[in-house]
Amino acid sequence: DETTNGVTVNTIWKCPLLMCVDSTPLLMSKGNDICNIVMVGSQGGDIMCVDVVSGRVLQRIKLDGKIEGGMTMLRVECKTLGEKTFVFVCTYSQATERANKTNLSRDNTFYRGALHAFGVCEERCDTICQEK
């Protein structure tokens, strides 16, 4: 607990990640409603989907590479799939082989980036949105 200017801030819960977190957590939404779900990624490549109220881990995904930027959520209408929600995140990792000299860093290490897209489980989001 920490008190500043007469205001006390209490840690309600915390979830350990593999490495440090440089990205801003993504608060999930359903339509105009904000769900009780937050997603965050770490430099260790793990993504955690957590219930905001309880701190219960709903899902954990391990990606190859480091996550240093934030995630973005997009809801789209697709003729064949209907309405779907996607979360996008970028990673980068040190490559084992060089494709060309233009992708070298200052220390002559070659890095490879990737864009990952995840479909959000609508049923789980609906359940948690209704629990708030």
pLDDT at 31: 65
H or E element in which residue 125 lies: helix 122-131
Q: Residue 111: pLDDT above 60? A: yes
Mean pLDDT of all residues in 105-115:
70
Whole-structure pTM over 0.95, yes or no?
no
Average pLDDT, the chain: 78
pLDDT at 128: 45
pLDDT at 42: 92
Q: Residue 131: pLDDT above 80? A: no
More confident residue, 26 or 121: 26
H or E element in which residue 126 lies: helix 122-131
Mean pLDDT of all residues in 6-31:
85
pLDDT at 129: 44
How many other β-carbons are positioned within 10 Å of the β-carbon of residue 83?
Answer: 10
On whether the CB atoms of residues 38 and 50 are closer than 8 A, the answer is yes
Q: Residue 123: pLDDT above 70? A: no
Mean pLDDT of all residues in 9-14:
88
